Amino acid sequence: MKIIVLKGESNHGKTATLHLIYEKIILVNGGMGKCFEHVGNLKQRDFSDILSYKDKKTAKRKKIAFFTMGDDKKPLEDAIKEYTAQQCDILVCACNNDNFGIFGKMGPGTYKVVEKTIRSDFMPAFETNLYDCYRILEIITHT
């Protein structure tokens, strides 16, 4: 399983960005959710799910897992094990800077890190989230 990690500080839009990616795969690319579930604090809108997604290059279906509760180490480690056991092709997850060490145990090429773009006066939150969304969609299409 290839892991795409959106890494950044807590409360800086990682979950909102992963919601955008999830919705784009469903709406634009015909993905189908398998087991959408809210996890953790409902105010944070954290979720997990597995999408069945048709790869346009190979015409094969891929299983893409999403897990946004990256501010807590144990649930993230458990999700990685669970999605590996379910033979997902890709896991897209959020991870805060404090928990990133769990990826150090994995072999080279197992994961790809996308640093969360920080909002500013020149680029508000929605625009940074959309920018990161397209960066990750690009990785998904080439994985």
pLDDT tens profile 81-126: 999 999 999 999 999 988 888 888 787 788 999 999 988 777 788 8
Range of the domain at 101: 2-141
What is the C-alpha to C-alpha distance for residues 9 and 14, in angstroms, rounded to an integer? 8
Q: What angle do CA 37, 126, 91 make, to 5 degrees?
A: 40
pTM: 0.89
- State whether residue 106 is helix, strand or coil: coil
Letter string b/e over residues 59-83, b meaning 16 or more CB atoms within 10 A of that residue's CB: eeebbbbbbbbbbbeebbeebbebb
Number of compact structural domains in the chain: 1
Q: Where are the alpha helices (DSSP H) in the chain?
A: 14-27, 73-85, 125-141
